């Protein structure tokens, strides 16, 4: 397993191009199962989770081809079985996203039930209950969700909790249902909107995506199209924090500033100057130490749980005391314990972390535990005194395209060493 070695202490400076969004690519790849003809997808990030999804589709018999520009063509006409096996689902929970499309298009799906995960229990009861309300017969048997339906029937769904992949799964299933489906308390994340735009281009009739009420008028069939995935707001936000934490100046390109509002607000509160254009954001913290800030995670458009760990790293070296409250996942504080090993002063009380900023962190061997936790350790390593070594970086490769190259481009002393 590879490791990352980071020699801290360099103020980052320069520009970095944001890749396509992981959390839009995964549902869009699953959504391609709904089309009668081949679908091509552009701006796809080169990530382990994308590779896993391609493998999942391939095992079902779907023809997936990839060109050198990471454009993926998905042709579901060759599908042999509607089956997502445990060995893939256990490595990537987002595999659950094939459930809705398979059921809607082919009338049956057997998808392994994801288990717990490093950041929380993450049940999929809302996905299952929603599909049942749409008329599916579902049995949980031998660790698998076994779903059957002749043709789904549109209905009104009120989601118990705001769930991103739950909203996406149900929205995809409803595209081919008979009649109209309304999803109340829907997730408003930009990735949900991107999926809806993709499905509409295929011929779906979805309105209201981006609000908490999405209406889907079912159609008979969907066609193959080309679609470019939106930029990754979490990857972009992570590089902005990298600029701020190192007291540097970093510009992210190929981004949508409007998707980063909550993050930009917090960077400004921390004392950074932030400028935006149509497709770029620049953070400037030169010559200053960040001020401690408080964050509380909540569904979009509020502060994202996927940026919580990165801001915890910022607070760890900030002036003052900051609190981080995690309201989405019950166990998303593993990075706090690792950062303590680098000298961070963090106290945990339930879902709240109280962080007393220190003047400097010191390098230590640390372990990545999940994707965003790993990103926060990289950020801490960028400012720590000495050489930080991060193990288990396969977590980072799930969601950050060539992170060491992008950071090196900004001046960081970082390298990947094979283990
Ligand atoms: N929940 C339920 N029942 C369900 C579904 C969700 O109780 O059936 C709960 C969850 O346990 C959690 C809350 O609802 O407490 C919200 O979870 P959500 O379903 O929104 O999370 P998700 O769809 O599994 C996506 C992203 C995550 C991101 C969350 C929250 C993808 C592929 N994953 O997960 O991304 O943290 O939304 O924004 O879109 C990441 O990229 O590092 C990552 C974990």
pLDDT tens across 336-387, in order?
A: 999 999 999 999 999 999 999 999 999 999 998 899 999 999 999 999 999 9
How confident is the model at residue 352, as a pLDDT? 98
Of 14, 58, 77, 117, catalytic: 117
Model pLDDT, residue 331: 86
pLDDT of residue 327: 97
Query: Mean of the per-residue pLDDT values for the chain?
Result: 96
Return the pLDDT at 64. 97
Protein residue with its CA nearest to atom 36 in ligand 1? 306
DSSP run (H or E) holding 281: strand 280-284
pLDDT at 396: 93
Question: CA 59, CA 214: separation in Å to the nearest integer?
Answer: 32
- CB distance 167 to ligand 1 below 6 Å: no
Distance 347 CA to ligand 1 centre (A): 25
What pLDDT digit, counting tens, does each position of 322-333 carry?
999 999 998 899
What residue's CA is closest to ligand 1, atom 14?
A: 163
Atom of ligand 1 nearest to the CA of 49: 32
Q: How far is the CA of 306 from the centre of ligand 1 (A)?
A: 10
Residue nearest to atom 17 of ligand 1 (CA): 163
3-class DSSP assignment, residue 213: strand
289 CA to centre of ligand 1 in angstroms: 33
| Ligand 1 close to Cβ of residue 207 (< 6 A) | no
Q: Determine the residue of 96, 121, 166 to mutate for testing ligand 1's pocket, defined as the one with the most ligand atoms within 8 A of the Cβ atom.
A: 166
Q: Is the pLDDT of residue 116 over 90?
A: no
Measure CA 30 to chain center. Answer: 15
**Residue 67 in this model has a pLDDT that exceeds 80:** yes
285 or 115, higher pLDDT: 285
Q: How far apart are CA 375 and CA 320, in angstroms?
A: 23
pLDDT higher than threshold 90 for residue 202:
yes
* Tokens encoding 115: 């288990």
The pLDDT > 90 percentage for the chain reads 93
Mean pLDDT across 127-150: 96
d(CA 237, CA 94): 22
Mean pLDDT of 212-225: 98
Q: Is 117 an active-site residue?
A: yes
pLDDT average, residue stretch 126-136: 98
CA distance 334 to 309: 9
Dist. CA 94–CA 132, nearest whole Å: 20
Question: Two tokens at 129?
Answer: 């209950």
pLDDT of 115 reads 72
Task: State pLDDT tens for residues 277-323.
Answer: 999 999 999 999 999 999 999 999 999 999 999 999 999 999 999 99
3-state class of 174 per DSSP? Answer: helix
- Residue with the smallest CA separation from ligand 1 atom 44 is 306
Pocket test for ligand 1, best of 133, 168, 328, 369 (most atoms within 8 A of CB): 328
Residue 400 CB less than 6 A away from ligand 1: no
> Ligand 1: which atom is nearest the Cα of residue 129?
8
Is 32:229 a contact under the CB 8 Å cutoff?
no
What is the pLDDT at residue 90? 92
User: Which residue's alpha carbon is nearest to atom 31 within ligand 1?
Assistant: 23
pLDDT value for 286: 98
* Predicted pLDDT at 375: 96
Look-up: residue for tokens 């059921």? 103
**Which pLDDT score is estimated for 68?**
81
The reported pLDDT for the residue numbered 330 is 87
Q: For the residues 24-46, what does the mean pLDDT come to?
A: 97
Q: Calculate mean pLDDT across residues 194-206.
A: 98
**Average pLDDT of span 9-26:** 98
Residues pairing with 354 in the sheet: 323, 347
Nearest Cα residue to 245 out of 353, 361, 414: 361
Ligand 1 atom showing the smallest separation from residue 328 Cα: 15
Give, in degrees to the nearest 5, the angle at Cα 115 between 111 and 118: 135
Q: Residue 117: is its pLDDT beyond 80? A: no
Structure pTM?
A: 0.98
pLDDT at 122: 84
What pLDDT score was predicted for residue 212? 98
Pocket test for ligand 1, best of 50, 128, 165, 191 (most atoms within 8 A of CB): 165
What would the mean pLDDT of 80-91 be, rounded to a whole number?
95
């Amino acid at each position: 397993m590879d490791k990352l070695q980071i020699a801290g202490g360099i103020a980052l400076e320069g520009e970095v191009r944001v890749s396509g969004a992981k959390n839009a690519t995964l549902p869009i790849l699953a959504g391609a199962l709904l089309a009668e003809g081949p679908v091509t997808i552009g701006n796809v990030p080169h990530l382990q989770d994308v590779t896993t999804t391609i493998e999942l589709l391939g095992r079902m018999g779907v023809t997936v081809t990839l060109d050198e520009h990471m454009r993926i063509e998905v042709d579901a006409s060759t599908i042999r079985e509607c089956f997502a096996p445990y060995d893939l689902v256990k490595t990537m929970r987002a595999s659950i996203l094939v459930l809705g499309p398979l059921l809607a298009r082919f009338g049956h799906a057997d998808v392994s039930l994801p288990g717990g995960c490093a950041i929380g229990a993450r049940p999929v009861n809302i996905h299952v209950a929603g599909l049942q309300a749409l008329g599916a017969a579902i049995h949980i048997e031998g660790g698998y969700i076994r779903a059957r339906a002749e043709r789904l029937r549109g209905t009104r769904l009120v989601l118990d909790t705001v769930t991103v992949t739950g909203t996406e799964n149900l929205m995809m299933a409803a595209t081919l249902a008979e009649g109209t489906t309304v999803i109340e308390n829907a997730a408003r994340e930009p990735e949900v909107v991107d999926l809806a735009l993709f499905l509409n281009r295929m011929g779906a009739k979805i309105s209201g995506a981006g609000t908490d009420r999405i209406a889907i008028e079912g159609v008979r069939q969907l066609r193959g199209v080309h679609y470019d995935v939106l930029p990754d707001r979490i990857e972009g936000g992570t590089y902005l924090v990298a600029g701020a934490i190192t007291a540097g100046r970093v510009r992210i390109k190929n981004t949508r500033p409007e998707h980063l509002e909550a993050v930009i607000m917090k960077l400004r509160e921390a004392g950074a100057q932030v400028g935006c254009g149509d497709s770029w954001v620049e953070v400037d913290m030169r010559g200053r130490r960040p001020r401690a800030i408080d964050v509380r995670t909540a569904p979009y458009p509020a502060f994202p749980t996927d940026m919580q760990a990165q801001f915890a790293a910022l607070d760890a070296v900030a002036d003052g005391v900051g609190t981080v409250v995690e309201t989405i996942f019950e166990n998303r504080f593993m990075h706090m314990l690792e950062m303590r090993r680098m000298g961070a002063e963090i106290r945990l009380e339930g879902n709240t972390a109280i962080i007393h900023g220190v003047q400097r962190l010191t390098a230590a061997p640390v372990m990545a535990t999940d994707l965003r936790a790993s990103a926060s350790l990289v950020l801490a390593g960028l400012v720590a005194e000495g050489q930080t070594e991060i193990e288990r970086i396969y977590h980072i490769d799930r969601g950050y395209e060539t992170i060491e190259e992008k950071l090196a481009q900004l001046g960081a002393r970082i390298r990947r060493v094979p283990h």
